[in-house]
Amino acid sequence: MNLKDIKKKLLSGDFSSLLWFGEDKRKIHPTEVAKMLTALPVSNAIEAFKSLPTRTEVRVFPYLDHLLQKKITKAAAHERASYILNELSSDDRMNFFTSLKGVELSFFLDFLNEKNKSALHGLLGYPDKSVARLINTDFATIEKEVTVAEACEHLRKNHKDSEAANVIYVVDKDGKLIDDIPVRRFVLNEPEKKIADILDGFCISLKMTDSKEDAIVKFKEYDRVVLPVVNQENVLLGVLTVDDVLDVAEQRDTKEIQNFGGMESLDYPYVKTKFFSLIKKRAGWLVVLFIGEMLTATAMGYFDIEISKAVVLALFVPLIISSGGNSGSQAATLIIRAMALKELTIKDWWFVMRREIFSGLTLGLILGLIGFIRIAVWQHFHWYNYGEHWFLVAITIFFSLIGIIMWGTLSGSMVPMVLKRFKLDPATSSAPLVATLVDVTGLFIYFSIAAIILKGTLL
Amino acid sequence: MNLKDIKKKLLSGDFSSLLWFGEDKRKIHPTEVAKMLTALPVSNAIEAFKSLPTRTEVRVFPYLDHLLQKKITKAAAHERASYILNELSSDDRMNFFTSLKGVELSFFLDFLNEKNKSALHGLLGYPDKSVARLINTDFATIEKEVTVAEACEHLRKNHKDSEAANVIYVVDKDGKLIDDIPVRRFVLNEPEKKIADILDGFCISLKMTDSKEDAIVKFKEYDRVVLPVVNQENVLLGVLTVDDVLDVAEQRDTKEIQNFGGMESLDYPYVKTKFFSLIKKRAGWLVVLFIGEMLTATAMGYFDIEISKAVVLALFVPLIISSGGNSGSQAATLIIRAMALKELTIKDWWFVMRREIFSGLTLGLILGLIGFIRIAVWQHFHWYNYGEHWFLVAITIFFSLIGIIMWGTLSGSMVPMVLKRFKLDPATSSAPLVATLVDVTGLFIYFSIAAIILKGTLL
């Protein structure tokens, strides 16, 4: 089959014959099918999806992005859409429905059968941030009195060949979790052994209400790939696999990084985000920061007499405020990331504050010295004439840099902690917020120090 | 046992009796032991570690941080240290040795037996970024002609109860990978069946030389928890589990975030990093950026006559340049993250460039308008007097903002792509670099536009 044929088949929607394409007629993994579909224009993707065998549809669906999932479901016949949505694994179903809001949510809920609808309703009751939103409710349980052979028999009869059968959960009569057994232990132990004798006594679990971030920490700490999730009474309600947590960690970091960049985080990847929603996400914070920065014009206006007397002061304004901003972003970045990874809590504020004041002092001394030397060298070689009082100007720059950088590291480290204290997300535009704060107050520090040092000479 | 007793036991180094502490004498997970050890002063931690049973030592060791691992190994008797390092799983051993350099590396290599030493040497030959550095070389293989019952028998005889027995790899006589079987399939299928009949034909693998980033993408794409790693000849050499990838993803993101903050990434968590190495990591880029920003003083000096004629122009300098910087950081953040997640490659530069020019234009119009209104309103209500030519000043600000924000989004998006093109890490200080670039060139844009609009009036 040449490329032209492939293209023809794709455009005519005859997709399923392509799936056994290739010399060795090898099967194609659902994620690869999904990638191909995503690369097609939407209308063709919908047609191509329809041409898939129904079982394949169910397997490919979870790998599509939410936009395409919605369009495909809307375009499909009601019965077919209903079949797909009901056959999805519970975590994939949840993932799809979590992306929906309002009218859309109720529209798509109608496709579900009663059992799935009420299960989904129950889980949607938990907060967005909780692990309940990620769990798979399909899992294998066993009681501890049975033998390994009986347990195997039970598994064979009741479970299909899916990830859910990798770990078996031992529960009591009330469904309360006792322990977990990786299925390998059924193979590695003699069939006559009692389940109770092959338990290892280490059972780590998550609560439904635990935050997704806590789950990340727990998976990392215990090096697990799947963890059981229980309610307050320790009744097993679902399992959480690490690949979902990997997605969560990545989304958290993307959000954090985009917030650092001074913008709302995107809902879709950059390339998939429409132009105007991209502008919306960016304009909001840009306008807020712009309005904040307008205070610098006010502050500068406040010192306009000083500037007209000593234009030389204006020359260093960008240098001074950007140094404060840079040192502030550094501190904010360090603290926000350390808090996100739970290395630091707000209880450590005093440790952080002391540390950042001394960091600011040290960094300020370094930059202050460089600034001082810069002016002295330029003056000495007549590259620029800072006037007869150049030495006092250099001293002003020296002390201003120390003051502003200390103020930068201090506010950079404390603003995220204060935000966290008031239950706000410390990542939200902290870095640019800090930069703006430092810019405005930095001008006051600079001109005040100038007023003291240059009084009677330049001012 | 009360708290006082616990403290006493801890300080005296009698740690192991604490491990069965608690009402139900429950065993404590190695990670919890490691956490307790980490909380102790180093000398006590070393003593406490020594008091552990040797088997427990081996299990706790991988959960300690590298610093403590080194100190403990150095403090232990040679035989004991040698036992621990040889008994570690191969990925944990690699993890420890990867943290070492030069003399230290050869010092610790001496603890290993010949087999482990040569295996480690082989793997250390692969680049730091490759998955070879993360693999576990302990895995279970089987040939496809045997039956399920025989495979189970083989597993029972040759493998202990560890993660390595969760997935069994089917290889041919030369050790070339054919397929992987989750061990659950041994339980779910009849014992008489041939292995060849229970393969599903989907076998995803990684190459030893694949980058860790590629591995992250593959784990996410295929929703796997463990992947086989093969050499160029498709011979199975090891396996990679997703929890290691989770760590890699987190480290990558931490590095990226700290680079965004305009600093070198830390080797240890913030709280663990010593004061002076923290300063070192921060001062480097801060000085580079400072020296870059000194060009603003040069640029301003170039326009000092204009400033002394029209002090009003100086008032808006911080506002103008910070807007350029903010829009530049937004663009840089978006592009760097999208490239890190492989959503975007440098081939897409034209798409990105067009998009960012239009984004810059739109955002510039919005901010320009706000800036214009700000001046008009202040003038109208006599909150500040921008002089008789206030309208021209406002027009200058309007066009300058458009120009500078377009320049910001353009350079913010293109600088990371150019860095990537030259095989440099686009995350490295891109955002602050872009901000500095935009600050300096922004001043030229601003004063040039002012020169055109205000010629004959203010200038």
pLDDT score for B9: 64
Residues of A in contact with B362 (CB under 8 A): 279, 283
Query: What tens digit of pLDDT does each residue of B118-165 get?
Result: 889 888 889 988 999 999 988 999 998 999 999 999 998 888 888 888
- The answer to whether the CB atoms of B359 and A275 lie below 8 A apart is yes
pLDDT score for A207: 95
- Cβ within 8 Å of residue B381, ≥6 positions away: none
- The answer to whether the CB atoms of A283 and B335 lie below 8 A apart is no
**How confident is the model over B288-297, as a mean pLDDT?**
86
Mean pLDDT of chain A: 86
Tokens of residue A147, six digits:
């033998």
Q: B241: helix, coil or strand?
A: strand
B303: left (phi over 0), alpha (psi -120 to 50) or beta: alpha
- The answer to whether the CB atoms of A246 and B241 lie below 8 A apart is no
Alpha carbon distance B122, B135 (integer Å): 12
Which of A335, A459, A457 has the alpha carbon at shortest distance from A388? Answer: A457
> Does the structure show a pLDDT above 90 at A147?
yes
- The answer to whether the CB atoms of B318 and A260 lie below 8 A apart is no
Which of A312, A319, A316 has the alpha carbon at shortest distance from A389? Answer: A312
Identify the structural domains of chain B with CATH numbers, from first to last.
3-125 (1.25.60.10), 140-251 (3.10.580.10), 270-454 (1.10.357.20)
Closest chain B residue to the Cα of A201, Cα to Cα: B27
Least confident residue range of A236-240, A445-449, B262-266: B262-266
pLDDT score for A6: 60
pLDDT score for A265: 83
- Sheet of strand A206-207: strand arrangement: A206-207, A226-230, A236-241
Residues of B in contact with A257 (CB under 8 A): 253, 256-257, 260, 333, 336-337
Question: Nearest CA to CA, how far is B103 from chain A (Å)?
Answer: 31
Question: Nearest CA to CA, how far is B129 from chain A (Å)?
Answer: 19
Alpha carbon distance A30, A19 (integer Å): 10
- Cβ within 8 Å of residue A42, ≥6 positions away: A68, A71
Question: Nearest CA to CA, how far is B132 from chain A (Å)?
Answer: 19
Question: Nearest CA to CA, how far is A338 from chain B (Å)?
Answer: 6
Task: Give which of A26, A28, A180, A188 to mutate to test B binding, by max B Cβ within 10 Å.
Answer: A188
The DSSP-derived string for A176-207 is BEEEEEETHHHHHS-TTSBGGGG--S----EE
- Cβ within 8 Å of residue B193, ≥6 positions away: B147, B148
Alpha carbon distance B165, B159 (integer Å): 7
pLDDT band at residue B53 under the 50/70/90 scheme:
confident
Query: What's this model's pTM, rounded to 2 decimal places?
Result: 0.77
Task: Indicate the pairing of strand B167-171 with strand B177-182.
Answer: antiparallel
pLDDT band at residue A23 under the 50/70/90 scheme:
very low
- The answer to whether the CB atoms of B327 and A29 lie below 8 A apart is no
> Does the structure show a pLDDT above 90 at A340?
no
Residues of B in contact with A296 (CB under 8 A): 318-319, 322
> Does the structure show a pLDDT above 80 at A363?
yes
Residues of A in contact with B161 (CB under 8 A): 184-185, 188
Between A343 and A405, the more confident residue is: A405
Closest chain B residue to the Cα of A155, Cα to Cα: B188
Query: What tens digit of pLDDT does each residue of B356-365 get?
Result: 999 999 999 9
- The answer to whether the CB atoms of B337 and A186 lie below 8 A apart is no
Closest chain A residue to the Cα of B317, Cα to Cα: A318
Is residue B439 a contact partner of residue B268, using CB atoms and an 8 Å limit?
A: no
Residues of B in contact with A203 (CB under 8 A): none
> Does the structure show a pLDDT above 80 at B430?
no
CA distances from B431 to A329, B71, B122, B235 (A): 11, 38, 38, 43
pLDDT score for A54: 82
pLDDT band at residue A295 under the 50/70/90 scheme:
confident
Pick from A166, A283, A436: which is nearest to B363 by CB?
A283
Residues of B in contact with A29 (CB under 8 A): 202, 204, 222
- The answer to whether the CB atoms of B293 and A247 lie below 8 A apart is no
- The answer to whether the CB atoms of A343 and B250 lie below 8 A apart is no
Pick from B187, B298, B322: which is nearest to A183 by CB?
B187
> Does the structure show a pLDDT above 70 at A277?
yes
Is residue A364 a contact partner of residue A432, using CB atoms and an 8 Å limit?
A: no
> Does the structure show a pLDDT above 50 at A165?
yes
**How confident is the model over B191-199, as a mean pLDDT?**
90
Site of tokens 């975590």 = A91
pLDDT score for B23: 45
Alpha carbon distance B167, B181 (integer Å): 6
Residues of A in contact with B239 (CB under 8 A): none
Residues of B in contact with A443 (CB under 8 A): 318
ipTM above 0.95, yes or no: no
In angstroms, how far is the first alpha carbon of chain A from the final one? 83
